[in-house]
Structure 1
Amino acid sequence: MVRRAGRGGTGGPEGPAGVEPTARARIRVLHVLPAPNGTTQYVDHMIGAAPPEIAILTFSWPRAVFGAYDVLHVHWPELLVRERTPVGRVIKAALAYTLLLRLELTETPVVRTVHDVAPQASGDRLARSFLERLDRRTALWIRLNPTTPLPPGVRAATIPHGHYRSVFPPDPGTRAEPGRLFLFGLIRRNKGVERLLDVFRAVNDPVMRLTVVGRSQDAALADHIEAAARADHRIEARLEIVPDDVLAREVRRAELVVLPYQDMHNSGAALLALSLDRPVLVPRSAATDALAREVGEGWVLMFDSVLQPADLLRATAVARMTRERGTRPHLDERDWERVGRRHAEAYRKVVPHLVGP
């Protein structure tokens, strides 16, 4: 069963105005994130979790260069210089260096959240030079888990990504279906979907089902997924971005969420699944080991090296036992109110002159 959406642009960090400061706000934080667009994104959490003394602004180039703010909070800095066309890259580089000049002239501190071990794309010489200079201007580095490598000697804080429980209320009418596996998110080759399809088709169990949901960035990979779905009636592919309520329902239908990435450091997909009380199968790494210890036994299941059919069968059996226990993964440290307070503490450290008595 195959449904496929048309391909669109990837967008960038530019966005309309965010949440304006209130009279109670003391520290204005400009996030290099787009404004909310009606779907659940990281920016929604950063806005919703901010305590009253923090005013959150979202990104636009005019605001970044000419607007009033006290802290620039960068998340994926490569988005500031990434562009598809040569002319676009030159324009982006000019804007990025203008922003850097503004930061230097106004002595505006930069806070950086490290979401990935390395940038998603290294870029050309101008881009790499900008990223290096921005790194040198960063006053505080935030990592989402304690295993994230940081430059030596930098000022740092560890603030975990918040959970999604408040976004998706309980839905007792949707239950896990025995044997149903689910993979979702932005589909790239390094996320192991081709290997998962091969492994799943090697499992000779008519009860097993696999659903793949998400937009593919690779036309050839999309064609491969569609061909697998046509060849095996147990596979369903929906190659598009779906509304949050649809995604939550699909996660809850699954007995196990499978994320067979080639490597994993931080995963919003894993956290979403855990927030909806579904176990995940992920590659073993220092980060996934730490997550498994945090959330409790039976929720984060791991495979070593290359995914095998036995890994799917073992993880499905463990996931079933975990669900039958009737417990939930431990996510207290990821409560968004707590995450917001920790971010406020981080901002106060870099602008102590704005902090009242």
Structure 2
Amino acid sequence: MREDVLGRFRIHRARVYSWRVLSPSRLLRPARRREAESAARVASTPQAPLRVVVTQRPPSHRVRYVDQLVGDDSAGGAPADIHLEFRDSLRDAPDADVVVLTSVSAVVGDRRVPVGERERRARRFVRALRRRRIALVRSLSGDSAAASNSGSRAEAILDQFAMTSIVMSPAVPTRSARTTTVIPHSHLRSRFLGYPRTDAVAGRLLFLASGTLPGAYEGPLKVFAAAAPDGWSLRVVGQVPQDLASSFARTVNRYPATISLCDEPLSDAALVTEVGAAELVVVASGTQESLAVTMLALSLDRPVLAEDTPSNRLLADEVGHDWVRLHRGPLTSATLEHELVRFREHPAAGRPDLDARDPNAIAAQYADVFRAAASSA
């Protein structure tokens, strides 16, 4: 046999050998091979942070709900693969993977916008999200949030499209979202490390709001004035609503020795001082701010007195009934007097159990929800 022919056979054998050691993707047809190589490149490329737009103002020097999403990064422990952007309003689908809707008015406008226009805006927004494959997550941050606009067709349209609704307690009702996720309110202990603290003033009750006092405090204010419990005083902190200014002024001016009012917005440092000086914080249930006030008080080791609602009952079971003291029905003079006697007989001891509410653990739960929603869009 000729040498040149033998040479060809040797080359052929080498090619067969080399073919067997090629990667599996090389054995695929050209089109499928390109798809496999593209998938391999994607898998080996670090993923960009998930882009999440939240319909609230960005975190600031004052504690607000959005701090739940951010966590505490003072030690580098907050979620790092989520890029959060905060906007007051959204009239079109943003450049994002997920939209967290904390306020329906951010999309459809407030009550001054005609009902028909609100519905059109909701439908247009949903269509834009669907077209761009952006997930919608609803966040209901208080007991009354779920029912605040329950008759709104615009809100129903948005709820039906939402991947999930986030609530802070399993007792909070939800509507049409595909799933419901419970993420509790984080504690605020680490937020106030290093702040000046104040010793409690014996017998001081506190009504507190970081901004405007809810109108729900008008009743308890009159109840305290009528009860006038011996050895107790009342401190009211927060801006008084304009329509209740005269009512609050009459009650406070009538009892200057036992009731004092700080009618202005306060910084976090001032709030910490006011809570520290209180022996018991009275919380008006049924307001979106009630849980935030409760967690502020508990984080500063001050017990709260609140109405016996499903959410408050679950919270008391978790952190301790000496720290979340419940009264049945609206606060009355008899109820207040009874609870204050019981408080003196059985004061809170130790610290409330807030271990399950670490800020970074809560932020990580939000991040998990956002990732799951984005993957399902």
TM-score (norm 1): 0.79
Match of 2:306 among 282, 286, 306: 282
Q: Which of residues 47, 50, 56 is equivalent to 2:84? A: 56
The answer to whether the 8 Å contact 1:255/1:316 transfers is no
Q: Distance in 1 between matches of 2:165 and 2:221?
A: 38
Q: What is the aligned partner in structure 2 of residue 35 from structure 1?
A: 58
Residue among 198, 202, 209 paired with 1:178: 202
8 Å CA contact 1:39, 1:244 repeated in 2? yes
Which residue identity is paired with 2:149? S
Cα shift at 1:310:
3.7
Give the 3 Å change call, closer, same or farther, for CA 305–324 of structure 1 in structure 2: closer
CA distance in 2, matches of 1:114, 1:86: 22
1:336 aligns to 2:359 (yes or no): yes
Superposed counterparts of 1:99-248, under 5 Å:
99-115=125-141, 116-119=143-146, 121-122=148-149, 128-151=152-175, 154-169=178-193, 173-185=197-209, 186-189=212-215, 191=216, 193-205=217-229, 207-217=231-241, 219-233=242-256, 234-248=258-272
In the aligned structure 1, how far is the partner of 2:94 from the partner of 2:284? 43
C-alpha distance in 1, partners of 2:194/2:239? 26
Q: How far apart, in 2, do the equivalents of 1:43 and 1:300 lie? A: 24
Q: Which moved more, 1:285-294 or 1:32-41?
A: 32-41
Q: Closer, same or farther in 2 for the Cα pair 1:92/1:150, shift >3 Å?
A: closer
- Which residue number corresponds to residue 83 of structure 1? 110
Structure 1: which amino acid aligns with 2:184? P
Partner amino acid, structure 1, of 2:96:
Y
Q: Which moved more, 1:304-313 or 1:238-247?
A: 304-313
Moved more, 280-289 or 155-164: 155-164
1:291 matched to 2:315? The reply is yes
Q: Quick check: which has more Rg, 1 or 2?
A: 2
Contact 2:275–2:300 at 8 Å: present in 1 too?
A: yes
Q: Is this contact kept in 2: 1:181–1:255, CA < 8 A? A: yes
Structure-2-length-normalised TM-score: 0.76
Distance 1:321 1:278, change over 3 A: farther
Letter in 1 for 2:86: T
Contact 1:280 1:299 in 2 (8 A): yes
Q: What RMSD in Å do the two structures reach over aligned CA positions? A: 3.1
The alpha-carbon distance between structure 1 residues 210 and 222, as it changes in their structure 2 partners (threshold 3 A), is same
Deviations 1:112-162 (A, max 9, x none): 122244557539x9xx23211111110112221111223378322211011
Separation in 2, partners of 1:319, 1:82: 46
Count of residue correspondences: 323
Counterpart check, 1:72 vs 2:99: yes
Aligned partners of 1:171 and 1:312: how far apart in 2?
31
Name the SS for the 2:163 alignment partner.
Answer: strand
Task: Specify whether residues 96 and 173 from structure 1 end up closer, same or farther in structure 2 by C-alpha distance, changes over 3 A only.
Answer: same
Tell me if the contact between 1:281 and 1:303 (Cα under 8 Å) persists in the aligned partners: yes
Inter-partner Cα distance in structure 2 for 1:262 and 1:153: 22
Q: CA, structure 1 residues 322+102, in 2 after alignment: closer, same or farther (shift >3 Å)?
A: farther
Q: Deviations over 1:267-292 (max 9, x none)?
A: 21111111111111111111111010
Superposed displacement of residue 46, structure 1? 1.7
2:372: which partner in 1? 349
The answer on whether the counterparts of 2:149 and 2:155 sit within 8 Å (CA) in structure 1 is: no
Letter of the structure 1 residue corresponding to residue 235 of structure 2: T
Cα contact 1:113–1:143 (8 A) shared by 2 = yes
Q: Aligned AA for 1:55? A: H
Residue identity opposite 2:82 in structure 1? I
* Correspondence for 1:316 among 324, 340, 353: 340
Name the residue aligned to 2:26: none
> Contact (CA 8 Å) 1:264, 1:285: kept in 2 or not?
no
In structure 1, give the amino acid aligned to 2:178.
V
- Which amino acid is the alignment partner of residue 346 of structure 1? V
Q: 1:308 to 1:207 in 2, by over 3 A?
A: same
CA distance in 1, matches of 2:166, 2:299: 22
- 2:69 alignment partner, SS class: helix
What is the rounded CA distance, in whole Å, between the counterparts of 1:68 and 1:264 in structure 2?
29
**Structure 1 residue 347, shift from structure 2 partner:** 1.6
Is residue 68–residue 185 contact of structure 2 (8 Å, CA) maintained in 1?
no
Q: Cα–Cα, structure 1 residues 340 and 264, in superposed 2: closer, same or farther, change >3 Å?
A: closer
Residues 264-319 of structure 1, C-alpha deviations (whole Å, 9 max, x = no match): 89621111111111111111111111010010130111111231234333433554
Residues 175-221 of structure 1: per-residue CA shift (max 9 Å, x gap): 111110000123233x2x2322222123344532111112233x231
The 1-side partners of 2:86 and 2:174 are apart by: 25
For 2:69, give the aligned amino acid. M
Gap runs ≥5 in structure 1: 1-22
Distance 1:39 1:155, change over 3 A: same
